[in-house]
Amino acid sequence: MSKYLKFWGTRGSCAVSGPQYAKFGGNTSCLEVHYGQAHLIIDAGTGIRPLGEELMQRLQPLHLILSHTHWDHVIGFPFFEPLYSPLSEITIWSPAEDTKSCREIFNNLLRAEFFPVQLHELQAKLHFLTIQENTPIQIEPLTIHFHRAHHPSTTYCFKIQTPHQTIGYASDNELFKDYHGDLAHAPKDFGLVEFFTGCDLLIHEAQYFPDEYLQKVRWGHSSASNAAALVQKANIRRWMVVHHDPKHTDDDLHRLATLSQQLLDDHKIPCRSKWIGDGHVVSLI
């Protein structure tokens, strides 16, 4: 299979382990996008470590694109095995943060106080580039567009256009900040609604139960009901949910998934939602 998405890490904020997380998994954010000759990795959470082990069997040029540089999205980077092979070539894209370039961000991440191997000691051929919101990037037949997310620090949502499909991705995005009302009356975020309208598949977080969100406004994550409102307003037909709260067990996530689909059904929104776990694969056309 040469055209697919594979979710290597679907947990948000902090990696977890234990039997209560066995179904959905505990690795933090990492999504592999493979489309012919284009090979992208979105985010470098702990899920990038097992992905790196697999990629050592088939080294090829890679693009690593970061939505932002919070710990849960970069903590797996030093353990990504292709970084230590001189046969690897990796282009790394990240948002600028406080005027720091992409290279400066990773140089700080691999300072001696935090990790025994420094950036200049990695053996792969590395290229560092900065994401610009209004400048799409082209990687083989894929076009990647960016839009600012509602999240502390500079954070981007993505829209990946293949020749046949459009995939939206937002792992960290607080929709309709401080809104706790009914889905049907949620305010309209014109920028994000317009950005995601037309997506064949939307990958978007729904980290909190509505009652949890009452206590977590401005943490940078959405309630399930607010995320469902975006699905309605952007006319999404297929919604996959990632970036699960580290406190949520498999049972909690099943309850949250049921609640969210019931919200969609009650409001006659023709969308099927699916809570995604580590290892899930989606075929592309």
SS3 34: strand
| Single pTM value for the model | 0.96
173 within a domain of the structure (yes/no) = yes
198 within a domain of the structure (yes/no) = yes
183 within a domain of the structure (yes/no) = yes
- Total count of domains within the chain: 1
100 within a domain of the structure (yes/no) = yes
Q: What integer pLDDT is reported at residue 19 of this predicted model?
A: 98
Q: What integer pLDDT is reported at residue 134 of this predicted model?
A: 87
Q: What integer pLDDT is reported at residue 96 of this predicted model?
A: 80
Q: What integer pLDDT is reported at residue 147 of this predicted model?
A: 97
Choose among 51, 279, 56, 66: nearest CA to 172: 66
Cβ contact 65:153 at 8 Å? no
139 within a domain of the structure (yes/no) = no
- Where does residue 234 rank: exposed (0-12), middle (13-18), buried (19+ CB within 10 A)? buried
Each residue's pLDDT, cut to its tens digit, for the chain (285 residues) gives 689 999 999 999 999 999 999 999 999 999 999 999 999 999 999 999 999 999 998 888 999 999 999 999 999 999 999 999 999 999 999 998 777 888 998 999 999 999 999 999 999 999 999 998 889 999 999 999 999 999 999 999 999 999 999 999 999 999 999 999 999 899 988 799 999 999 999 999 999 999 999 999 999 999 999 999 999 999 999 999 999 999 999 999 999 999 999 999 999 999 999 999 999 999 999
Q: What integer pLDDT is reported at residue 1 of this predicted model?
A: 62
Q: What integer pLDDT is reported at residue 59 of this predicted model?
A: 85
Separation of alpha carbons 199 and 236, rounded Å: 7
140 within a domain of the structure (yes/no) = no
- Where does residue 114 rank: exposed (0-12), middle (13-18), buried (19+ CB within 10 A)? exposed
Separation of alpha carbons 105 and 94, rounded Å: 9
130 within a domain of the structure (yes/no) = yes
- Given CA atoms 114, 246, 167, 226 in this order, what sign does their dihedral have? negative
Separation of alpha carbons 73 and 75, rounded Å: 6
82: domain CATH number?
A: 3.60.15.10
H-run or E-run covering 191: helix 190-196
| Domain span including residue 119 | 3-14+21-134+145-283
Per-residue three-class SS string for 248-265: CCHHHHHHHHHHHHHHHH
193 within a domain of the structure (yes/no) = yes
Separation of alpha carbons 203 and 157, rounded Å: 10
Cα dihedral 264, 266, 269, 274 in deg (nearest 10): 20
